[in-house]
């Protein structure tokens, strides 16, 4: 069996989804899916440790199939290394600004004018990312991927590739603020940026010279 096979075994036994387990481990929502699809075949050991903890197994078993598979069965509560993990844990008090507006435009866009709706606690995976921010999803233009009212957390430092979900800032009016679009990334070249929308299904084309930025959405969900 491969690393991916062993991950799938643990997911099935624990009744967890790839997306849910990835987020629980503090990773991108597509991390475990990328391993299954062969897009990421050699995770770092510290990443494997996070996966092993969420899947209630050991890094040794994930890597080679040797040793204990289920630590919750074979290791008593007193033997489990929770105290060691706890010593490494630090409370993340960073908060991120949330941009957006209550009602989006025809395609869910909103003016990116620097005004914040409120702020939220920063997810662990973005705690050390400079310039990280969040946006409030308006409307159902990207349903079922994103629902109205969800918060999308953005990593502006990560390279964007085809199939990623992004926040793109586009200049619509030379005298106004950029308009922000939450969409699926198709391509961006010297002539245009192409994004995909789900409802109604269509592609959005923007001239390259009007593109301010295209930033990667690391995760999204409902927050208090």
Whether pTM exceeds 0.75:
no
Mean pLDDT of the chain: 85
Structure token pair of residue 49: 């440790």
Residue ranges in the chain whose pLDDT is less than 70: 41-42, 72-92, 102, 223-224
- Kindly report the backbone phi and psi dihedral angles of residue 14, in degrees, each rounded to the nearest multiple of 5, phi listed first: -90, -5
Percentage of the chain with pLDDT > 90?
50
Closest CA to 209 of 184, 195, 189: 189
**Among all chains, which residue has been given the structure tokens 């001239």?**
207
The size of the chain, in residues, is 224
Burial classification of residue 160, based on how many CB atoms lie within 10 Å of its CB (0-12 exposed, 13-18 middle, 19 or more buried): middle
Place of tokens 């008090």: 93
What pLDDT shows up at residue 217? 95
What is the spatial distance between Cα 117 and Cα 111, in angstroms, rounded to a whole number? 12
pLDDT tens, residue by residue, 31-64:
999 888 888 766 787 888 899 999 999 888 888 8
For residues 170 and 192, is the Cβ–Cβ distance under 8 A? no
> What CATH class does 95-221 carry?
mainly beta
Distance between CA 71 and CA 76 in Å, rounded?
Answer: 8
| Per-residue confidence (pLDDT) for residue 79, from 0 to 100 | 46
CATH number for the segment(s) 3-88: 1.10.260.40
Residues 6+ positions from 4 with CB-CB distance below 8 Å = 35, 36, 38
* Domain range summary for the chain, segments of one domain joined by +: 3-88, 95-221
Tell me whether domains 3-88 and 95-221 share a fold: no
């Amino acid at each position: 069996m491969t690393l991916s096979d062993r991950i799938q075994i643990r997911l099935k036994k624990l009744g967890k989804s790839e997306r849910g387990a990835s987020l629980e481990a503090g990773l991108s929502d597509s991390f475990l899916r990328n391993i299954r699809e062969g897009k990421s075949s050699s995770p770092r050991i510290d990443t494997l440790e996070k996966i092993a903890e969420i899947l209630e197994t050991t890094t040794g078993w994930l890597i080679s199939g040797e040793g204990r598979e289920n630590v919750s069965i074979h290791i008593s509560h007193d033997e489990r290394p929770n105290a060691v993990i706890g010593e490494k844990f630090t409370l993340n008090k960073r908060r991120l600004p949330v941009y957006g507006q209550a009602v989006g435009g025809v395609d869910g866009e909103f003016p990116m004018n620097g005004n914040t709706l409120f702020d939220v606690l920063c997810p662990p995976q973005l705690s050390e990312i400079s310039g990280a921010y969040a946006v409030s999803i308006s409307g159902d233009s990207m349903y079922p991927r994103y629902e109205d009212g969800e918060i999308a957390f953005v990593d502006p430092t990560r390279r964007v590739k085809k199939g990623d979900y992004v926040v793109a800032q586009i200049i619509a009016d030379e005298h106004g603020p950029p308009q922000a679009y939450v969409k699926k990334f198709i391509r961006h070249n010297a002539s245009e940026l192409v994004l995909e929308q789900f409802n109604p299904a269509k592609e959005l084309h923007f001239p390259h010279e009007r593109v301010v930025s295209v930033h990667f959405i690391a995760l999204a969900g409902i927050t208090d």
